[in-house]
């Protein structure tokens, strides 16, 4: 918080300037900035900081009203109180000065007691305004901090939930991380808003969180699933959506949408609802590609890892069938980024499920 007020005085008459300088400096908490030439003020205006401006009316080159008009165009001077000093009592000058933004008038020859009293009053007003604005700034900063803290906690909850889900499911943490990064790549390539892309990437790791509700003998079974087991496995979408749904936290609601729709298929043959085309939420359509691509390009107990080229061929074939063609196209156009994530986040000691 700033201390003390700075009062800028501009008068071409040096005697008057010295007198006003002396009077102002006698007011508690006030210091001065003095100029005998308005041009000098305008030249250095960007570096000048003050709380009140006292301007003489009659000066060479430009009069006080012109100077006020020019200063008010400078953002950090726009709301400063201006005091006009004038020798005459011409009401026309007063009106024009008022219109230009002057809030107070003083007449020459200056009456020291009146001058000090009026400037002191303005100084008190300015100080009160400054305190209010400092307080408002402080409040704004506190709100910003609280919002950031809230967001950070939401992100932490998501990260911890994803970690918890990983213990039950045999997927590696890297699988969920890669799926998240692929989702971000697709969304950004599609030109979606950065906030959406970021949220999608944060929420995507929870797409399979519903697997915590799947019986171990089904979830961990190595061989092919019987029909009833497959149907039970498919429940992970509805379970995941139910775990995450109706949260007040937008990120968790987005995660619920992804969990509930990442196995839907563009042609309507997916599950759990058999939605098709654009009735499948966009985050689910994006996550579907990321999830399948990652399953194809990592080793599973029943298959070797496919190359990126083979997986891209599969996605190309399935565009318009299993997947939203626009999302596939965005993914295929991002080969370098995809390859980078694929190798930078490759599974090390654990096998991807
Ligand atoms: Fe899934
Ligand atoms: Fe997955």
Identify which ligand lies nearest to the alpha carbon of 175. 2
Distance (Å) from CA 173 to ligand 2 centroid: 10
Per-residue pLDDT tens over the stretch 224-265 = 899 999 999 999 999 999 999 989 889 999 999 999 999 999
Average pLDDT over residues 95-105: 87
Between the ranges 69-78, 82-91, 259-268, where is the mean pLDDT highest? 259-268
Identify which ligand lies nearest to the alpha carbon of 219. 1
Closest by CA to 309, choosing from 279, 339, 269, 275, is 339
- 107: region left, alpha or beta (phi > 0 left; psi from -120 to 50 alpha): beta
pLDDT at 93: 84
Distance (Å) from CA 315 to ligand 2 centroid: 16
Average pLDDT over residues 188-198: 97
pLDDT at 162: 79
Indicate where the chain has its CATH 1.10.3210.10 domain(s).
169-344
- Which pTM was predicted? 0.67
Given the DSSP bridges, would you call strands 82-86 and 102-107 parallel, antiparallel or unpaired?
parallel
Identify which ligand lies nearest to the alpha carbon of 284. 1
80, 168, 211, 304: the catalytic one is 211
Top-confidence residue, 144 or 172: 144
Is 108 assigned a catalytic role? Answer: no
Residue 3 has pLDDT above 80, yes or no: no
What confidence tier does 89 reach under pLDDT thresholds 50, 70, 90? confident
Residues with CB under 5 A from ligand 2 (ion): 208, 291
Task: Give the rounded percent of residues in the chain with a pLDDT score beyond 90.
Answer: 70
Cα separations in angstroms, 334 against 153, 188, 263, 317, 328: 32, 10, 23, 17, 10
Average pLDDT, whole number, for the chain?
A: 91
Cα four-point dihedral sign 162, 168, 174, 176: negative
What confidence tier does 171 reach under pLDDT thresholds 50, 70, 90? low
pLDDT at 41: 94
Top-confidence residue, 277 or 109: 277
Per-residue pLDDT tens over the stretch 264-293 = 999 999 999 999 999 999 999 999 999 999
Distance (Å) from CA 271 to ligand 2 centroid: 15
Identify which ligand lies nearest to the alpha carbon of 233. 1
pLDDT at 172: 66
Residue 350 has pLDDT above 50, yes or no: no
Per-residue pLDDT tens over the stretch 199-232 = 999 999 999 999 989 999 998 888 889 999 999 9
pLDDT at 215: 93
Closest by CA to 205, choosing from 251, 265, 153, 149, is 251
Distance (Å) from CA 332 to ligand 1 centroid: 22
pLDDT at 91: 79
- CATH of span 5-140: 3.40.50.2300
Q: Which fold would CATH assign to domain 169-344? A: Hypothetical protein af1432 (1.10.3210)
Average pLDDT over residues 94-110: 87
Closest by CA to 10, choosing from 69, 77, 63, 80, is 63
Distance (Å) from CA 326 to ligand 2 centroid: 21
What confidence tier does 174 reach under pLDDT thresholds 50, 70, 90? confident
Q: Hey, what's the torsion of the CAs at 105, 32, 50, 45, to 10 degrees?
A: 100
Cβ pair 324, 285 in contact under 8 A: yes
Distance (Å) from CA 284 to ligand 1 centroid: 11
Distance (Å) from CA 246 to ligand 2 centroid: 22
Residue 351 has pLDDT above 50, yes or no: no
* 24 contact partners, CB below 8 Å, separation of at least 6: 7, 9, 30, 32, 54, 116, 119
Indicate where the chain has its CATH 3.40.50.2300 domain(s).
5-140
């Amino acid at each position: 918080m700033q201390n003390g007020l700075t009062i800028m005085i501009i008068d071409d008459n040096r005697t008057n300037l010295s007198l006003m300088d002396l009077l102002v400096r006698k007011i508690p908490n006030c210091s001065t900035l003095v100029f005998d030439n308005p041009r000098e003020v305008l030249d250095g205006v960007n570096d000048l900081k003050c709380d009140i401006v006292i301007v003489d009316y009659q000066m060479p080159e430009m009069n006080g009203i012109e100077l006020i008009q020019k200063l008010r165009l400078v953002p950090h001077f726009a709301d400063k109180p201006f005091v006009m000093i004038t020798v005459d009592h011409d009401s026309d000058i007063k009106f024009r000065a008022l219109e230009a933004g002057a809030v107070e008038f003083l007449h020459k020859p200056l009456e020291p007691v009146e001058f000090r009293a009026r400037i002191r009053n303005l100084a008190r007003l300015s100080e009160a305004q400054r305190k209010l604005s400092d307080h408002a700034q402080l409040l704004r900063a506190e709100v910003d901090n609280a919002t950031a803290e809230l967001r950070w906690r939401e992100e932490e909850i998501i990260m911890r939930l994803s970690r918890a889900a990983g213990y039950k499911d045999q997927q590696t943490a890297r699988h969920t991380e890669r799926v998240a990064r692929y989702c971000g790549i697709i969304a950004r390539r599609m030109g979606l808003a950065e906030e959406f892309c970021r949220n999608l990437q944060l929420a995507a790791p929870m797409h399979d969180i519903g697997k915590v509700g799947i019986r171990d003998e089904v979830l961990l079974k190595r061989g092919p699933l019987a029909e009833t087991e497959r149907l039970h496995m498919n429940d992970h979408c509805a379970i995941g959506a139910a775990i995450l749904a109706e949260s007040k936290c937008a990120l968790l609601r987005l995660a619920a949408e992804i969990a509930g729709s990442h196995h839907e298929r563009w042609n309507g043959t997916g599950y759990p609802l058999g939605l098709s085309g654009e009735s499948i939420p966009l985050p689910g359509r994006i996550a579907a590609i990321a999830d399948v691509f990652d399953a194809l390009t990592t080793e599973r107990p029943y298959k070797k890892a496919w190359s990126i080229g083979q997986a891209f061929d599969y996605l190309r074939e399935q565009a318009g069938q299993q997947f939203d063609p626009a999302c596939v196209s965005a993914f295929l156009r991002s080969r370098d980024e995809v390859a980078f994530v694929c190798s930078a986040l490759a599974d090390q000691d654990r096998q991807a499920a």
